[in-house]
Amino acid sequence: MDESLKTASFQSRVQDWFQSCFPAAAQADLDERTHRFLEEALELAQASGCSSSDAHALVDYVFSRKEGDVTQETGGVLVTLAALCSLRGLVMAEAGEKELARNWSRIEQIRAKRASKPQGSALPK
């Protein structure tokens, strides 16, 4: 690993990959980033045994309530992810590092997959 990468934060190294992988328009697309986050969160929930019906019930429950504060909700995501990782015997930081390294090796595949989807969404065509 490049020495400068070891000292940069994980978030800044993800940002470097993100800027290398995606065009400027995609980098600025908040809806697309939000949908991709939700897709990954749902995939983690599915891999952890969450059923489709429970996921749909949770969507209805969340969207029936007042919208939360982005900063507080981000903290909540990190805290609950860390707790889930602990329960599953995973080291959250190691999982993130492994996926970032994998993403660097798959830039062309990621671009092709993105090109097959509607712009601004994680949903397939």
Number of domains present in the structure of the chain: 1
How far apart CA 57 and CA 21 sit, in angstroms, is 35
Q: Where in the sequence is the domain holding 78, given as residue range(s)? A: 8-115
Tell whether 64 is covered by a domain: yes
Please state the rounded mean pLDDT for residues 35-43.
Answer: 95
pLDDT by residue (tens digit) across 104-120?
999 999 999 888 877 76
Tell whether 120 is covered by a domain: no
Q: Angle at which helices 70-88 and 92-104 pack, to 10 degrees?
A: 100
How far apart CA 80 and CA 76 sit, in angstroms, is 6
pLDDT by residue (tens digit) across 58-88?
999 999 999 999 999 999 999 999 999 999 9
